[in-house]
Amino acid sequence: MAEITVKAGQALERILTLELVRVTERAAVASASLRGRGDEKAADKAAVDAMRRELNRLPIAGRIVIGEGERDEAPMLFIGEEVGTGKGPAVDIAVDPLEGTTLCAKNMPGSIAVMAMAEGGTLLYAPDVYMEKIAIGPGYPKGTIDIDASPEDNIHSLAKAKGVKPSEISALILDRPRHAAIIEAVRKTGAAVQLITDGDVAGVIHTTNPEETGVDIYLGTGGAPEGVLAAAALRCIGGEMYTRLILDTEEKRERAKKMGVSDPKKIYTITDMVRGDCLIAATGVTTGNLLKGVKYDKGVVKTHTVVMRSATGTVRWIEAEHRDLSKFHLG
């Protein structure tokens, strides 16, 4: 993991770690109440409303730099929105109030509520476009993967670095028609392919613990906002990730330019996307490999959250039992 230097007074306050957990817990519980109902937008709106409500209680001067919903016209915590009380540190915020809206609507595994918070001016201000991505977890020599190399070359390089045959490598790829060639190339090496329908933030995080998740490498294209959130997680845990924005129209290039992207072909590393100290929290909505979903018992709501901090490399797993249910505003 790259060395992180945090100057005195610039680190995020430790108290914000638990506050961040409360934000994702509220969003997860709100959307979980609509699991299996088949209404993606209603579940997303419930998560957005809950997340906004909790963010506005935090002692921060926050700005949303990575929002969600532009592409599918869902409810948004929009880019540029100011959140928090305004009395506290200036922070950048990236959110995906409900990653895996389809998973939640169909009550399928792996949907989460996730957000990252970083020192002001340190998160990549990325437009809501698609992004090429490749990622692996910690413990490998730098340069093990290359976004410009073929899928075959990356699988062989990773297998060599891990000391195994390519047939012992497993790649996680979003199940999309655009990935057909990547899937075929990976399978030609003998490596396994694990397909997911949604959830590439959790997908990238899976690479950090292949013994538990069975995932060694993430490949493919997905949303740029999710790419920055995933980079925040790897900033905390370690690993290697390279991305490149897909700016294939003049409108997208102009939009990116207005957001400060001067080189449309730039390859971004983890530290390009998340430059300073950051926190990231994710709470399970439906149970998956990473997190357990929200569980409703008699008079109790149970949640499962992971929260990480880059300055210390600390990862906390929090299983909570909530008895004051009024805080969830479930009506």
Annotated binding site for Mn(2+): 44, 68, 96, 99, 226
Is residue 109 helix, strand or coil? coil
Residues recorded for the chain: 331
Is residue 67 helix, strand or coil? coil
Strand order in 240-245's β-sheet?
Answer: 192-196, 170-174, 217-223, 130-136, 240-245
CB atoms within 10 A of CB 324: 7
Distance of alpha carbon 17 from its chain centroid, rounded?
17
Q: How far apart are CA 305 and CA 203, in angstroms?
A: 16
Q: Which helix (H) or strand (E) holds 330?
A: none
- Report whether 68 contacts 96 (CB < 8 A): yes
Binding site feature residues for substrate: 99-101, 130, 176-178, 198-200, 223
CB atoms within 10 A of CB 150: 12
Beta bridge partners of 268: 243
Q: Please write down the HEC assignment for all residues of 197-263.
A: CCCHHHHHHHCCCHHHHCCCEEEEEEEHHHHHHHHHHHHHHCCEEEEEECCCCHHHHHHHHHCCCCC
Is residue 83 helix, strand or coil? strand
Beta bridge partners of 82: 63
Binding site feature residues: 44, 68, 96, 99-101, 130, 176-178, 198-200, 223, 226
Q: How far apart are CA 55 and CA 115, in angstroms?
A: 11
Report phi then psi at 325, rounded to 5.
-80, -15
